[in-house]
Amino acid sequence: MFRSAYETKLAQPTAAKCHPAGVCQENPMPLLNDVHSALNPTEVLRVERPSTIDELQAGVRAAAREGRALSCAGGRHAMGGQQFARNKVHLDTTALKSVLSTDCERGLLRIEAGATWPDVIAATHSMATPRGGCWAIRQKQTGVDNVTLGGSISANAHGRGLAMQPLVEDIEDLTLVDAHGEQVLCSRTENPELFSLAIGGYGLFGIIYAATLRLTPRRRVVRLVDVLDLSDGMNAVWRRFGQGCLYGDFQFVIDPRDPAFLQRGVFACYRPVDDAEPLVVDDASADLQPDAWLRLLGLAHNDKAAAFRLYAQHYVGTHGNGYWSDTMQLSTYLPGYAEFLASHRPPETSVASAVPETLVIGEHYVPRQRLAQFMEAAGTVLRAQNVEVIYGTIRSILRDTTSFLPWAKDDFACIVFNLRTRHDDAGRRCTADAFRGLIDAALDLDGSFFLTYHRHATREQLLRAYPRLPDFLAAKRRYDPEERFVSDWYEHVSAVLR
């Protein structure tokens, strides 16, 4: 897999800053950016990478003595300014990834929160169940693996479970480092309010140092694939769930010229098999390999009909294949694909099309029975704004009953759009208008949207989707009155709601 130029420069101090006139001034401040959209370049005061709990606590206390605020990130995949704060100290948690304890009887793994999902999965494989197998994660953030457990908890991420709550359901307890540099254990019974605020708290209530994950026995699963119309989508979900399937998602047609735009797709589910049932596990076929993904992404930009045919062909060809319930959740991810595609444009490509571009994600939620209405409305919005969907999926989520500011306020259908976004004023404006339109479409159907993928939502949209947002911000100031933990997103939303 190649390395993106955006990744290469992520935490590197910039020796000089060139102004439009071409005059360069010395500028030692590190420049950070998010990996996926690359639309959040942020100069921070310094980057610290603690490798022990003592170093983490010392970093927080040093910032307090200096009267400085902190931002925090791991894999840096979050968008919308959630993980960076301009001119503030930045803590990189990726060196904090040690296993702290295991409980093989109950299936509990306590691990430092800078661990990525491959780190977590590897740790579970060394834990034997009482029946002789090994333990496994229940779900992980989809689409990308090199994100930290702490980041996923801060966003209260979700996977492809057909009948699962977000990640909060899998968290037994957390250890936070608070604004004074002290360790605070949080669970449903100990500091329960802080526990509910920190999960889905976007890093605003302290640094998540460690977490205890609830695990499940590792199982073999068989992939079952259908190509079907959206009108049968929810019926298909419950059919497969009734057959015992644990996971599944629906990848829809992205070509706006196709009558099946957003209305037809590939539905892949995963059913556990009994230990005695013959099934060969072939994790290599669980996802497209990097070269195939590059071809698919190129087609998604240039020939969307062919892209869907390729994707459907791959998945239909894997119907009946066997996988492990945890490692099949890992994904091929190519953060530098846009640069690769740009480097392979034909020589006659216009100057306009050479403007840098990436994808921006929006995630929207509607009651399951209103999914068809939302997708119809979404098609109208996307066509009217003339934006391109490069990748999209629909998943199922159960209502979150624990976190203070839940995005899953009901049993929702979850719809994800990756919009092609040019890095110029017109491109950013087009994406912003499209997402505001999609948010309205969801809200009009008693739905919602994910808060921090971007900063395009209006004040009215924020309050309609998250009426407890003012209470959430008040709680943040109560637990962190000096606002030690901040982000550009936090400062933006605080200003919008004033």
> Six-digit token pair at 380?
């109208």
Mean pLDDT along residues 54-77: 96
Whole-angstrom distance, CA of residue 120 vs CA of residue 284 = 20
Whole-angstrom distance, CA of residue 426 vs CA of residue 403 = 37
Contacts of 303 (CB under 8 A, 6+ apart): none
Residue range 234-269, pLDDT digits in tens:
788 888 989 999 999 999 999 999 999 999 999 999
pLDDT at 270 over 80: yes
Of 297-301, 364-368, 474-478, the range with the lowest mean pLDDT is 297-301
Whole-angstrom distance, CA of residue 446 vs CA of residue 34 = 31
Amino acid at 106: R
Contact 337, 297 (CB under 8 A): yes
pLDDT at 8 over 60: no
> Six-digit token pair at 35?
């990996």
CA 412 to chain centre: 17
- Right CATH for 220-464 from 3.20.20.140, 3.30.70.2520, 1.10.238.10, 3.40.50.1580: 3.30.70.2520
Please state the length of the chain: 498
Contacts of 221 (CB under 8 A, 6+ apart): 246, 247, 270, 271, 272, 273, 322, 323, 324, 325, 328
What is the sign, positive or negative, of the torsion defined by CA atoms of 303, 306, 308, 311? negative
Q: What's the fold here for domain 99-217?
A: 3.30.465
Residue range 178-207, pLDDT digits in tens:
999 999 999 999 999 999 999 999 999 999
Q: Is the pTM of this model over 0.85?
A: yes
* Sheet strands side by side (includes 46-48): 46-48, 89-92, 70-73
**411 exposure class (CB count in 10 Å sphere: 0-12, 13-18, 19+):** middle
Q: What's the fold here for domain 5-92?
A: 3.30.43
pLDDT at 171 over 50: yes
Residue range 316-364, pLDDT digits in tens:
999 999 999 999 999 877 666 666 666 656 555 554 557 899 999 999 9
Provide the mean pLDDT of the chain.
90
Ranges of each domain in the chain: 5-92, 99-217, 220-464
How much of the chain exceeds pLDDT 90, in percent?
78
- pLDDT score at 277: 81
